[in-house]
Amino acid sequence: MIICSCNVLSDRHLRHAVNTADAALRNAKQIYGHPGCSAECGRCAHTMRTIIDEAYRERALACQASCPHGGTKDE
């Protein structure tokens, strides 16, 4: 789904940028800079923020699931 029509960025582009960037991409401005785009109208910023949050939440859950130290603590 196209999120930013000004730069033709899709939700897949955003998730890929979050998952492959050398440094953490935490906001729309950083996402725009990753593929060399720039913010134009800003109508997509809220949706981009939601997708960035979802991508990091998915990464955190995947990390917890594969962590040998994860799980519940014995009480």
Give, to the nearest 10 degrees, the angle between helix 11-20 and helix 45-66.
50
Cα–Cα distance list, 65 to 21, 28, 41, 49, 68 (Å)? 22, 28, 39, 24, 8
16: its two tokens: 């890929």
Mean pLDDT of the chain, nearest integer:
80
pLDDT of the residue at 75: 42
Of 72 and 56, more confident: 56
pLDDT number for residue 58: 85
For residue 25, is pLDDT > 90? no
Over residues 16-28, mean pLDDT: 79
